[in-house]
Structure 1
Amino acid sequence: MGDIMELLWLLLTPLFTLSFIYGGISIFSIISKLRNRVWINPEVKVGTSQNVVILLPLYKERFEDVRNTFLSIISQDYPKDKITLVTILEKDDSQTLKYVDSLKHMVVAVGIKLVKVINESGRRGKAYALNKALNVIPKNSSIVIVYDSGDIVKDRYYIAKVTKLINEGYDVVGAKVYRVGGGVIGKLSYLDTLLWYNVALPGLTKLIGYPLVSGEGLAVSTKFLREIGGFPEKLTEDSYMTMLVALKNRKAALIDSIIYEGAPSTLRSLIKQRLRWYKGYLECLWDLISVY
């Protein structure tokens, strides 16, 4: 019995410690009213635009998710002839390829250029897939934005705003990514992300000096992306990107725009997602200590 209690204590102590730290940062954020200081909402002028590339990695997706993301991109108030949409597919995923082909007319009809990249070397994760598309990015494109299938961007000026910020000297721009879904797990995921982006993250950003960005809706200057050799092929490439921004003394920003993404549907998938995040964070920490 004593051994069991000791094991439980060893397992629960880190959880309690993290909860205490999370709570302390959140209280600090609320008291200091950091939300309005960390999240920025730049004004944009109609008529100023640059060439933008949107990378959309896909793997065994639902038709509705691909369609919703295409519609979200089309709804952006940005010159469509300045947008190149690059879909990245896997060689063993013929069904998603059919979905893209059947929906192609939607984006082409409004003037968006659609490029398909097929990864023939086997699936190795999101960052690897993204890097497969780097060679097709036009040389005159100064900004790369990453979407995930099912992402719905609520701010119709999102592309215009991140373009403005990167033109002003920021190399990385992140957004609020709310994970939504039905059932108890979906509601808990939404509440969790709501508190994270509006309470905890502003406090953490103030403390460490750099914002932690999410991989969905992530905007990166093409120059910086090529400088670091592409997307870091890590479990949490977005967190690793933040680390590289800090190490190279570059600028990152958080834009007050909301992106809706599907939440895990089961407790099992939620736990699996969180474990992957935690493992990725530890990987970032280990590289920070051992490599840099």
Structure 2
Amino acid sequence: MAKDREARPNYHGDHRRLGEILLAEGVIDRDALALSLIAQRDSRARIGEILVVRGGVDRSAVAAAAARQAGFEFIDLRFSSLDAALIRPEDIDLFIRERIAPWRIEAGVVIYVAATPDAAAARLAQRGGGSTDVAAVEARALSRALIDACGPRLAERSAVRRPDARSLRSGAAGWQRGAAVAALTGAAALAVTRPDLALALFLWSSAGVMIANGGLWGAALLAHPRARPQARKQTRESADFRPLPVVSLLVPLYHEPETAPLLLRSLSALDYPPELLDIKVILERDDSATLDALKALNPPPHVEILIAPDGAPRTKPRALNFALDFARGAFIGVYDAEDRPAPDQIRKIAAQFTAEAPDVACIQARLGYYNATENWLTRCFEIEYASWFDAMLPGLFGLGMPIPLGGTSLFIRREALETAGGWDSHNVTEDADLGMMLARAGLKTALSDSLTEEEASSRPGAWIRQRSRWLKGYLSTWVTHMRRPVELLADLGAWRFIGFNLILLCAVLGYLLLPWLWLASLAGFWVNLRAAGAGAATDALVITTSAVLPIMFAAAAFGLWRRDRLNLVGWVLTLPLYWAFGAAAAYLALWELVSAPSKWRKTRHGVGRIAAELRRSALSSRDPGE
């Protein structure tokens, strides 16, 4: 008998329990079985997965025993491969969804391999189309075999998962390009022929943007919802009495060897049954440094490393789309390389999903920084996150506005994610875009008080590059969804349509206008703006600025108070200097929106002083036997 297969059972299965079979074969002992059965009472997971994750049992040994139990032949794909010639492009969806693939042809019979052979046999019988047979394989081995056999097709699938009409890859609409050219041409002509009128219009427009931004922040503060004790009680009850779901955590990495120790320690610290955590760490094929770093750390059994096939664009959302096909959870979460989620975060999220209404498709956790006190830039970054996640987003929720998701610590019902078409692989802020897609589908995003800490960019150059990607993504999302504004209005309704434009467009416009406003302020010392015909506009801008700045400062202070970081409140007054970096990032974003809309400016993590200390701590705390 070949090394890659076992003899076909000559009986119709083994009626013993899987644990008893493994015990009889000497794969486990009675203590391991007893401990796994105790764990099963809490998680209600399959005993085989518990034995693998908690008992260190080989996955292939468990899969082979399960095959004998069900009466199927077992194929070990570690020593074999799929016949790629048997895989038709139109069948890939079926094979991924059903965890099945054609292995080879023997005596005119197509032998399929499947992770759940009984279900696959029924599906093939329903499908028809010739003589077939089914054998069992281990699920992860099947995933790797499918990736090896269908790499280019899977790469294309992950790149174009989102329909053209809802993806940035279609570019701007003709009317958008025409409007942009007309606006720039008109502004230039007006500046030459009527500079007084051009100045007045600029100042009035700036005042309008200030009013829009300040009004949104002010409304968010006023609408900030109070905590609902009944909702928290329901969440606790749900956590106690409902079975816990399988949660898939997708963690895309690219050139992140420095973050590997801290990442694995953070994931291992999650207080959730590991057999119900399906963690996919996604790497690019050319990233051998991160792969070697992860392998050296010996990831726990519930962490699987997936290597994305080569393809374009090389972006985080493309990696997420690729991994989604191999995730098994009913809920999908996303983490970044440097994340330190609260240990109870997954339990809280699972309980909240149970307590929320069915139209709540997504839950966004709060984000903060573990290196907030590293320097002035990181302090301002933490202040900004406090105002956004503890003031603005709860306010948007209270106002019924669409929620632009954060890039990490978001959790979404799998069905809703697939209905939305996954992530737009061409959009460099796939998170904000996904939030708008959910809103267009009539679904809601709720907020969690659980906190995930990240590493703040501590160097101006890195900060500007990162922020330019975020702002470019906001503009990309606006361009994508506003290609058909009437359709967007119908999907969102007038109120949320206004919110969509305020959230995505006015924030970027505020940054773009900032240096010109400063220039106008400096010019005002030498030029009489009233004599230039801009007196009323100047007054309006001064009044709006005087009103908006206190609102922004109040939002920052409120956010710091909400997350108990009032030790940073003294730095709030320095935010205008911090916004200057945002202005530089906005112009870089605008340039790249035209020249390289899907270019991903990678943020390097693990380079700061505090991150280095945490990495050393993570390495020193590992069991030497691991």
Aligned to 1:174: 364
1:192-246 Cα shifts (integer Å, max 9, x gaps): 1011111222223333533332120111111112222222221211111111111
Q: Which amino acid aligns with 1:48?
A: P
Residue 76 of structure 1 is matched in structure 2 by 270
Counterpart in the other structure of 1:102: 296
Which of 272, 275, 279 is the matching residue for 2:472?
A: 279
In 2, distance between residues paired with 1:150 and 1:9? 47
Name the structure 1 match of 2:254: 59
Pair 1:255–1:18, CA change in 2 (3 A): farther
Q: CA RMSD in A?
A: 2.9
Match of 1:24 among 202, 207, 215: 215
Does residue 137 (structure 1) correspond to residue 331 (structure 2)? The answer is: no
2:575 corresponds in structure 1 to none
Q: Which residue of 1 aligns with 2:483?
A: 290
1:161 to 331, 345, 348: 348
Counterpart contact for 2:257–2:289, Cα < 8 Å: no
Aligned-partner Cα distance in 2 for 1:227–1:195: 32
Residue 189 (structure 1) aligns with: 381
The 1:193/1:8 distance shift into structure 2, 3 A limit, reads farther
Paired residue type of 2:417: L
Does the 8 A contact of 2:271 with 2:344 survive in 1?
yes
Match of 2:394 in 1: 202
- For residues 275 and 18 of structure 1, what CA distance do their matches in structure 2 show? 20
Equivalent residue, structure 1, for 2:46: none
CA distance in 1, matches of 2:261, 2:199: 46
Check if 1:124 corresponds to 2:319. Answer: no
CA distance in structure 2 between the partners assigned to 1:32 and 1:130 by the alignment? 34
Alignment check: 8 A CA contact 1:66 1:100 kept: yes
After superposition, the Cα gap between the structure-2 partners of 1:19 and 1:67, relative to the gap in structure 1 and judged at 3 Å, is farther
Return the structure number with greater relative CO, CA threshold 8 A, min gap 6: 1
Check if 1:237 corresponds to 2:427.
Answer: no
Partners of 2:460 and 2:204 in 1: CA distance:
22
Counterpart Cα distance in 1 of 2:321 and 2:211:
38
Q: Give the C-alpha shift of residue 56 in structure 1.
A: 0.7
Q: Deviations over 1:238-281 (max 9, x none)?
A: 11111111111112211111111111122222222222222211
Alpha carbons of structure 1 residues 281 and 5: separation in structure 2 relative to 1, 3 Å: farther
Q: Which amino acid aligns with 1:117?
A: I
C-alpha separation in 1, matches of 2:207 and 2:260? 39
Aligned equivalents of 1:278 and 1:126: distance in 2?
16
Task: Indicate the residue corresponding to 1:149 in structure 2.
Answer: 337
Deviations 1:108-148 (A, max 9, x none): 3xxx242423333356111011111122123xx20111110
Compared CA separation, residues 118 and 242, structure 1 to 2 (3 A): closer
User: How many residues of Structure 1 are paired with residues of Structure 2 in the alignment?
Assistant: 281
Q: How far apart in 2 are the matches of 1:54 and 1:16?
A: 44
CA contact (8 A) 1:119 1:129 kept: no
Alignment match, 2:452: 259
Going from structure 1 to structure 2, the CA distance change for 1:266 and 1:20 (only over 3 Å counts) comes to: farther
3-state SS in 2 of match to 1:45:
helix
Q: Which has the higher helix share?
A: 2
Quote the offset at 1:288 in angstroms. 1.9
2:244 alignment counterpart? 49
C-alpha contact 1:180 1:189 (8 A) present in aligned 2:
no
Residues 223 and 398 in structure 2, CA contact (< 8 A), matched pair in contact too: no
SS at match of 1:133: helix
Deviation at 1:176, TM superposition (A): 0.9
Distance in 1, matches of 2:271 and 2:303, equals 16
**Which ranges in structure 1 are unaligned for 5 or more consecutive residues?**
none
Rounded to whole Å, the distance in 2 between the matches of 1:261 and 1:13 is 39
Q: Distance in 2 between matches of 1:10 and 1:189?
A: 33
Question: C-alpha distance in 2, partners of 1:237/1:258?
Answer: 21
Q: How does 1:220-231 map to 2 (within 5 A)?
A: 220-231=412-423
Structure with more strand by fraction: 1
SS in 2 for 1:214: coil
> How much does 1:15 deviate?
7.0
The 3-state SS of whatever aligns with 1:136 is coil
Q: Partner residue of 2:304?
A: 114
Q: Distance in 1 between matches of 2:330 and 2:286?
A: 32
Q: Is the 8 A contact 2:251 2:281 kept in 1?
A: yes
Question: Would the aligned equivalents of 1:104 and 1:114 in 2 still touch at CA under 8 Å?
Answer: no
Q: String of CA shifts for 1:152-186, please: whole Å, max 9, x gaps.
A: 012x2211222233344221111111145321111
How far apart are 1:28 and its partner, in Å? 3.4
Q: 1:30 to 1:207 in 2, by over 3 A?
A: closer
Question: 2:364·2:406 contact (CA, 8 Å) conserved in 1?
Answer: yes
Distance in 2 between the 1:46 and 1:12 partners? Answer: 59
Q: In 2, Cα distance between the equivalents of 1:165 and 1:274?
A: 31
Q: Does 1:218 align with 2:410?
A: yes
Mean Cα deviation higher: 79-88 or 165-174 = 165-174
SS of residue matched to 1:216: coil
Is the Cα contact below 8 Å between 1:57 and 1:129 reproduced in 2?
yes
Distance in 1 (CA, whole Å) between partners of 2:296 and 2:204 is 52
